[in-house]
């Protein structure tokens, strides 16, 4: 990783030289952890366990094992851990461009609810992306690079295909002759930004996964000069239409309040509620469909 890697490695050497490379508390803690949180964070914890143990047992890579063990421990606590930021790793320009494109696609499909609707595949995609970026920085185990890259891109493509309102895949990145000058944090166009907050059955409270989406939407909103932030609540078809109208209004209002608590100007937030109209996944009446229990945040 860029800049921070020498500090982490040196700290690891100082600590491990005193107690031996066999005493790696974070790795041990991850292997013993019982993951909590939602289906995605539990699946991601197991993915990081597998990856960390492979890095130690096959490649004797203690520094990266410690880094990903810490990510696994955060996920085991139920925290919403994101794919590795490309800017944190020392990468050649062409490699960085590929990884930026892949990460953008993965984060984008997360915003469409991939972690909630496809938790196992989402966790696999993230772990393979993190594997790809770690191997690509080292840039000497070509078989490992190719395997992680192929697995990551295949999983991302499957997630995009599985989403009811999936975004179109990004075009293949161009290899530029000019020096690398891509900002991985460059925001998308306001009208293209869609954040989807999902809810448990018959609930309007925000769980850890929902809060992570609200956090991302609030951070993005505060970087823009927006006229309107539209917050629209929806339900599935289970329950009466009149009840679902009220429930969708509660879901919209809870997201509005959460945005306001995170510093978003409440005067630009407009709420709407559609009940069981405009389903993300078309179902018959009376069907409990997780993808339809949602609130959408859009910018204008």
Segment 220-232, tens digit of pLDDT = 888 888 899 999 9
Model pTM score: 0.54
- Single out the residue of 155, 150, 62 nearest to residue 109, CA to CA: 155
pLDDT for 212 equals 83
Residue 271 parent element (H or E): strand 269-273
pLDDT for 86 equals 85
pLDDT for 165 equals 52
pLDDT for 225 equals 86
Distance between the two ends of the chain, CA-based, in angstroms? 37
pLDDT-flagged residues of the chain (< 50):
1-23, 166-185, 187
What are the structural domain ranges in the chain?
A: 4-76, 86-162, 190-299
Instruction: Give the residue ranges of DSSP H helices in the chain.
Output: 4-19, 25-32, 39-59, 62-76, 93-111, 114-117, 119-138, 142-162, 208-221, 241-261
**Overall residue count recorded for the chain in this entry:** 300
Q: Does domain 190-299 have CATH number 3.30.1330.60?
A: yes
């Amino acid at each position: 990783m860029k800049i921070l890697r020498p500090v982490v490695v040196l700290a690891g050497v100082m600590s491990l030289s005193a107690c031996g490379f066999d005493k790696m508390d974070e790795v041990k803690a991850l292997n013993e952890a019982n993951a909590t949180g939602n289906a995605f964070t539990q699946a991601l914890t197991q993915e990081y366990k597998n990856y960390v143990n492979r890095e130690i047992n096959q490649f004797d890579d203690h520094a990266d094992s410690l880094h990903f063990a810490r990510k696994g421990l955060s996920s085991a606590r139920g925290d919403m851990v994101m794919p590795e930021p490309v800017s944190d790793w020392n990468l050649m320009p062409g490699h960085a461009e590929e990884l930026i494109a892949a990460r953008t696609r993965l984060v984008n499909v997360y915003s469409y609810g991939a972690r909630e609707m496809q938790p196992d595949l989402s966790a696999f995609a993230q772990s393979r992306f993190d594997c790809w970026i770690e191997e690509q920085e080292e840039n000497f185990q070509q078989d490992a690079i190719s395997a992680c890259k192929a697995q990551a891109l295949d999983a991302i493509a499957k997630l995009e295909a599985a989403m009811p309102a999936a975004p179109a895949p990004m075009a293949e990145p161009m290899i530029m002759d000019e020096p690398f000058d891509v900002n991985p944090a460059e925001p998308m166009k306001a009208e293209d930004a869609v954040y989807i907050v999902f809810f448990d059955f018959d609930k309007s409270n925000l769980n850890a996964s929902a809060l992570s989406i609200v956090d991302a939407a609030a951070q993005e909103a505060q970087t823009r000069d927006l006229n309107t932030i539209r917050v629209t609540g929806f339900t599935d078809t289970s329950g009466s239409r009149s009840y679902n109208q009220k429930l969708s209004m509660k879901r919209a209002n809870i997201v509005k309040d959460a945005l306001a608590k995170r510093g978003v100007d409440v005067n630009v937030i407009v709420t709407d509620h559609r009940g069981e109209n405009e389903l993300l996944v078309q179902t018959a009446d009376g069907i409990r469909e997780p993808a339809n229990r949602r609130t959408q945040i859009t910018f204008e």
